[in-house]
Amino acid sequence: MTERTTDSHPVRVLGRLDTPLSRWLWLVKWLLVLPHLLVLALLWIAFVVLTVVAFVAILVTARYPRGLFDFNVGVLRWTWRVQYYAYSALGTDRYPPFTLADVPDYPARLEIDYPERLSRGLVLVKWLLALPHYLVVGLFTGGGMGMVWWPDRDGPTWTWGGLIGILVLIAAVVLLFTGDYPKPVYNFVLGMDRWVIRVGAYVGLLTDRYPPFRLDMGGGEPGAELPDTPRQGAGPGRPGGWTGGRVVSVIVGALVAFAALGLLAAGGVALWADRSERDADGYLTTASTLTTESYALSTEPVRLDSGIGGWVGSGLGDVRVRVTPTEPGSSVFLGVTSAGDAARYLRGTGHAVVRDVTGERVVTEVVRPGGPPAPPESAGIWLESSAGEGTRTVETTVADGDRVFVVVDQDREPGVSVRAEVGATVPALPWVAGVALASGAVLIGLAALLIGVAARRASG
């Protein structure tokens, strides 16, 4: 056994190719690792949250909290074992253990030296400095079955593709027919895996050592070898480390933190909309252009029944709809009525229904071909209506039941094109913003408690 030299990289990725390997087991490993992938999905959520916490801690103290460091190293270690067993290497048939701790006799091992101090300035730009590595890592993984820490993603990417996946597939086919794993392919694959994990550790703030542009091939590290037993303080396996209960506490805390961030974001948007997006009349509005080659346009029924629907209706307050013909001088009729009356009025009329509006993207569907409708003013069904040239406005208070808005060209000629604006006073918006912000703050406190207590106990 050789001693680790001072020139060795602080992120050490090792693998031992087991022999013999099953010729056929690799065909079903995708199924066998599903339990691990489910657990890792939760662990990577926790990894993201703890990395954000560590980011703040490094900015303030220039130190990565030891308990959080051990946890995140454990997540990387667990991920590497699963990758090594599955389709990032196929280097062993021994099923990966469910643990964050180092397992000395497992064929795949990962160790990262704990940094006593980290650069406060470097933590702000690591994601940017690693951009050249992203190109290399993308070539290796292809967004594929490889652990890649992208700055705009919440965790690793687990899909097929890339040079690693291609070479592992070639090795699997050779193994199927010959019973041997080609050693040159193995060495090259391990070199690429090592490069990917070093980049992930650097961007994950676990080290200040910039990943080398070097393909260190083979299962061992240049000038370094992990000891046969874990060193004291090496990671989650040490006394007082990450027990199952503490891991669960961090995962729950991370999920609560994500829920809290969602509430805080929603509350912030609601407060911003209430304070800055209302027009002079107090309405929050959205506008789109609606066009059809048929005789009329109608909305889908808006259903606000009693109970929850009634609460939503009262929360919306007054509703205002405005339509302006896109052709100057055109006259249109705008009315609102019940869904039943609208269906009877439009029966036999060629008209289109607005199915979906997302910004300027409008989806309309021609319900049926037909002739022009009866003069809308004489129908006697409208709860509110307005007709004539220029902008037409209808204001109504949302009540129980289905409501449909209908636009008809007053000349009853085919082709309706209007700029439509829908607005509501939404008097409940300040209350919704306050509740969301308060709930988010409470959940952030709960998440901090769950994570902080677990990390403190894990740190011993």
**What pLDDT, in 10s, does the model give residues 419-458?**
989 888 888 889 999 999 999 999 999 999 998 898 888 8
pLDDT tens for each residue of 289-313: 888 888 888 888 876 544 444 444 5
Per the structure block, which two tokens stand in for 97? 């253990």
pLDDT tens for each residue of 397-419: 766 667 889 999 888 788 888 99
Give the pLDDT band (50/70/90) at residue 385. Answer: very high
Q: Does 229 score more than 60 pLDDT? A: no
**Residue range 322-327: mean pLDDT, rounded:** 90
Bridge partner list, 41: none
Give the pLDDT band (50/70/90) at residue 360. Answer: low
Position 309 scores a pLDDT of 45
Higher pLDDT, 178 or 315: 178
Q: Tell me how far apart the alpha carbons of residues 83 and 90 are, in angstroms, rounded to a whole number.
A: 8
- Residue 107 C-alpha from the chain's centroid: 33
Nearest to 108 by CA among 124, 122, 93: 93
- Is 164:140 a contact under the CB 8 Å cutoff? yes
Percentage above 70 pLDDT, the chain: 86
Per the structure block, which two tokens stand in for 443? 């959940």
Q: Tell me how far apart the alpha carbons of residues 77 and 85 are, in angstroms, rounded to a whole number.
A: 12
Lowest mean pLDDT across 231-235, 240-244, 270-274, 454-458: 231-235
DSSP 3-state assignment of 247? helix
Nearest to 343 by CA among 309, 323, 368: 368
Q: Does 225 score more than 80 pLDDT? A: no
**Residue range 197-222: mean pLDDT, rounded:** 91
Higher pLDDT, 317 or 52: 52
Q: Does 5 score more than 80 pLDDT? A: no
Per the structure block, which two tokens stand in for 410? 């007053």
- For helices 162-178 and 183-203, angle between their N-to-C axes, nearest 10 degrees: 150
Q: Does 396 score more than 90 pLDDT? A: no
Q: Tell me how far apart the alpha carbons of residues 457 and 244 are, in angstroms, rounded to a whole number.
A: 12
Other Cβ atoms closer than 10 A to 213: 9
pTM: 0.73
Q: Provide CB contacts within 8 A for 212, sequence distance 6+.
A: 9, 198
Other Cβ atoms closer than 10 A to 14: 20
Q: Does 81 score more than 70 pLDDT? A: yes
Give the pLDDT band (50/70/90) at residue 224. Answer: low
> In the chain, what is the straight-line distance between the N-terminal and C-terminal CA atoms, in Å?
31
Position 329 scores a pLDDT of 81
Position 295 scores a pLDDT of 86
Mean per-residue pLDDT of the chain: 84
Q: Provide φ and ψ at 392, rounded to 5°.
A: -115, 135
Nearest to 204 by CA among 43, 54, 99, 60: 54
Higher pLDDT, 150 or 11: 11
Q: Tell me how far apart the alpha carbons of residues 51 and 47 are, in angstroms, rounded to a whole number.
A: 6
**Residue range 137-148: mean pLDDT, rounded:** 65
Nearest to 27 by CA among 107, 93, 123: 93
Highest mean pLDDT among 2-16, 182-196, 286-300: 182-196
Lowest mean pLDDT across 64-68, 77-81, 111-115, 141-145: 141-145
Other Cβ atoms closer than 10 A to 307: 9
- Is 235:73 a contact under the CB 8 Å cutoff? yes
**Structure letter (DSSP) for residue 207:** -
